[in-house]
Structure 1
Amino acid sequence: MPVARLSRFVGTTLIDPVAFGGGSERARVGVRVQTVAHGYLGVVEDYVAPNTGAVWSTLTVGLPCCVPAMTVDHRSAQGLPGVPVAGGHAVRAGQASFDEHYLVAARDPLAAANLLSGGLCEVLLRQPVQRLSFEGSRLLVRTFDGFNATPEVVNWLDWLAAEVLAVTPAFVTRVTAAAGPTVAPQTFPPGLYGPEEPEDTRSEGLGLAGLFSFPARRRA
């Protein structure tokens, strides 16, 4: 898939672990790549930890609706800066194999338990990541250390995000979670953007997605 490289934030150092997927107190932005995952606009970025030289990549995707805040961290990252996230309640998936490998934190455990579908657990067990998080209308996926934003990594992150969104309930709220299961939950449908979108159209849409979906960044 053709991708466009972006210049905004490249070379700056961020001090907000939530923005770059945790695992380090600071991170310097390297390559930024505009992309499409499951038909939604997104950005893949790679980072370098100034103190250790570790590198990793994240995919941030703008979603069409808000979902409960939930962060899933691989247990191998436990104890690193920002892992687990502060202010969250522990949530268990109820699947022994998943709970053995992942920590889940959420502000609203009941709503997050509905968001944490069996299908999502299966995807993350087949394709492990260091972090996956939902926040407002944003999905973030962080690789383990050692992965720059190469074309292969970008394509893999796009594919993984599509797998995640295809099994994740799209309209979970405190009210729907409290009501309990009534009908099969509606998962995220494919978005309107395709891999061959004209660059000017995708760039304009990405700007809007960044304005409304992606959080502000704290720079050093």
Structure 2
Amino acid sequence: KMSQEGPGDLDKVFKALGSVTRRRILQLLAQGARYPYELSKTLGLTQRGVFKHLEALQEAGLIERYHGESELGPDRVYYRLNARFGLSTTILPDVFTVRVTRREGTGHILVPKGFIIPEARPDVTAVRTLLRELGKVNKRLLDIDEERMRFASLRGKIIRKIEEIMDQAKWDEKSCERVSALIDPIRQQGQNPDQDAHDIWSETVKQTIRLFENLFQSHETRIVAEKIEDEVEEDEEFLIESD
């Protein structure tokens, strides 16, 4: 199940997000908690249809239900977001990654240097200021996306070079899979969110180097054994028996 920091089962998350209606429900719940009847009226669906979508989102860990007070009668069942994370997928030559960016469970944000959140005043100047800041943020997000794509492509090429080394050494498939699993970007995302990313990578490097050392040693031992075997066979071929 998904925690408040991020997803635990990406397959369920992608399945849940595959529906336009469910994405619309998430968009509405991002604005605040809603009850099923309210969602059905807003979306133009039957309550039964809304419940099916809510169940899928809850199964993926994206939302949760709770009982809340109602001004018009008995308590109601409400639904609200149960996750705070960013999810992006990169598909390029030599690259397929799913990136999960977690956020702490707080409504406060740290405004980057050079950006502001203008006040909301009922005048044109305030609107113009807000639009200017919105444009700056949009441009920054585009720049970040482009830079992420470049680095994702670079990471894919570096990983491919590591795979080429394994191909040259003619390692068995199981050994190659062990190395690939260690350096897999998706695996790195699945590590303990409470552990420092630098510590996780340092441990990954140690494990990968140790595995390479063992595999190289095994490869060299095999090469030496094959060379000795070939030399023995050559000696046997040139052995001349006496009368």
Do Structure 1 and Structure 2 share a fold, with TM-score over 0.5? no
Greater strand percent: which structure? 1
TM-score norm. by structure 1 comes to: 0.24
TM-score norm. by structure 2 comes to: 0.23
Greater helix percent: which structure? 2
